[in-house]
Chain A
Amino acid sequence: MEALMNIDRRWLFLVVFVIVFGILIHPIGLPIVIGPDAQKAYDYVQGLPAGSVVWLGIEFNQSSKGELLPMVLAVANQLFKNNDKIVVSGMWQYGTELVQPYIENIAQKYGKQYGVDWINLGWRPGNATFLHQATQDLNAACAGVDHTGQPLSSFPIMQSVKALTPDYFKLAIVFDAGTPGLPDAYIPIVYEPLHLPLLDGTIQMSVQENKNYLQAGQIVAMIPGSAGAAQYEKLVGVPGQALASQDPLSLGALFVTLLVILGNIGYFATRGKKA
């Protein structure tokens, strides 16, 4: 029993390596059940009138792309399929550049034209300042140019979109991995004063916290973590990285559960001995 308490942690690390690498190479194909959160988010986006303009806030970078990039792609597919228009922007450097080639591909797939059906305003420095300015005047906030430096006045889509307010946008979808993001920027700056509906695509570890905002109506729906992204990929019908990650993720969760149980068995057994 003492041995159960004292496994060298490097053995555990080795098992994690074996599980993740092994199952990525040989997937087992666990069934994906659509959860209520992903369904609600999907339905909300489906319910937008065709031609709605939607803000995609890319509030993450390479570190969290495993969870959030698949979500962005699934949502972009859905929006283009529904003939909605997309404005991409964000407060995290490298976020908007990261998604640019992927969204460009999807736009091509649906025959959407840059500057008409969608635009990438790029990242701007200033964190919450930028968002604050965007709610007042998009043109000024972006210094009048898109992510490659083209003047915004040359794009038709910008004629109908002046600021991040309910007057021009039907929905803002925020893909957030931390600060700056939803609770510290979008809720106080965009939702509280303006009541623009927010939809939150979040990393798994913010789910428990963001449920409070969902309950309070500060966000209309959420896509929760990698599992949510996988369900969303299934709903939209574009399988990708999120679906492929569910097998190793599941086995990882199972392994951690077993370790918690094992650790506790060891704990109770040795505790009994001491007493």
Chain B
Amino acid sequence: MLGLLLAADEPAPVLGIFWADATVAAFVATVLFALMVWYLIARARSGLKIPEVRKLPGLDAFDEAIGRATEMGRPVHYSPGISAVSSTQTIASFGILGHVAKLCAKYDTRLIQTNADITTYGVAEEVIRQAYLEAGRPDAFNAEDVRFLSDWQFGYASGVLGIFQREKPAANICIGAFWAEALLFMEAGVNQGMIQVAGTANNAQLPFFVATADYALIAEEIYAASAYLSKEPVMLGTVVAEDWARIIVFALIIVGTILSFFQQKNWLGGILKK
């Protein structure tokens, strides 16, 4: 259709409907995971008890960071990373941004939010405006403090460095998908004595966040953080589902490992990586 797909030799469907062997196991796993999420959401909705999510280190840090900025009468800087809104890390960051913006509105502290992507810019403005509204301070919202800087990685980075120099924020919060610019922000922040909270699931940047930020959220924690901050049982249910899936992963690894003692090529592995 559409003249888009002109596959020279299209493979026959697997099991009648699937595209390739590889997609069968992945599809089944996806459906299983979705069912677990659905079950836990239903449980949470009907008010049944779901396991408690452990407190993530660093989540209280937002109060501390914004409190300090308030005391000093200086702004807070927030960056959602340089990916577009299509990245799940960015969406996770917006949950946190809502929380941060509400705190800023409450304490009457200026929040400078910068973007490297027009889509995050659009969403961020909505999120912050809504947060100020919910905090009862719609008048305090200033659209000019939500900024698009550049869609070039280092154009954005140098813009943020400029804001650090000229507007002197007292707190710097960077949560989302970061690449090399992470260390530029962290070092400039340290140099100016900012209190910094950072988090990403881009693993290569983690050592710098862990070493230079005051509080760091690592890898999967940023996804759980937005659910945790929402305090909605329904959202927390999805975090529980992650743990259930993890237990299944353990079970698979243990069974598969035992099987590998008996068979050169074990059937479980065969199913998974078809």
Q: Which A residues are within 8 Å of any B CB, using their own CB?
A: 9, 133, 136-137, 139-140, 162-163, 167, 178-179, 192-193, 205-206, 208-209
Contacts and interface: CB of A to CB of B under 8 A. Distances in A.
B23 A140 contact: no
- Could you tell me the dominant secondary structure of chain B's interface residues? loop
A208 B203 CA distance: 10
B6 A208 contact: no
Nearest to A129: B4
A178 B154 CA distance: 14
A192 B7 contact: no
B204 A140 contact: no
A236 to B, nearest CB: 28
B203 to A, nearest CB: 6
Nearest to B26: A192
Given A178-B179, A193-B23, A136 B6 contact: yes
Contacts of A162: 8
Given A178-B179, A209-B203, A209-B204, A140 B20 contact: no
Contacts of A163: 7-8
B87 to A, nearest CB: 10
Contacts of B9: 167
B5 A136 contact: yes
| The 10 A-B residue pairs with the shortest CB-CB distance in the complex, in nearest-first order | A193-B22, A136-B7, A193-B20, A137-B6, A140-B6, A162-B8, A192-B22, A205-B204, A209-B203, A136-B5
Interface string B19-33: 110110000000000
A9 B188 CA distance: 12
A126 B9 CA distance: 23
Say what secondary structure dominates the interface of chain A: helix
Nearest to B205: A205
21 contacts: A9-B191, A136-B5, A136-B6, A136-B7, A136-B8, A137-B6, A137-B7, A137-B8, A140-B6, A162-B8, A163-B8, A167-B9, A178-B179, A192-B22, A193-B19, A193-B20, A193-B23, A205-B204, A206-B204, A208-B204, A209-B203
Interface string B199-221: 00001100000000000000000
A206 B179 CA distance: 11
B110 to A, nearest CB: 29
A143 B7 CA distance: 14
A92 to B, nearest CB: 12
A179 B203 CA distance: 14
Contacts of A136: 5-8
A207 B6 CA distance: 37
A162 B179 CA distance: 35
Nearest to A178: B179
Contacts of A208: 204
B179 to A, nearest CB: 6
A139 B7 CA distance: 10
Interface in B134-182: 179
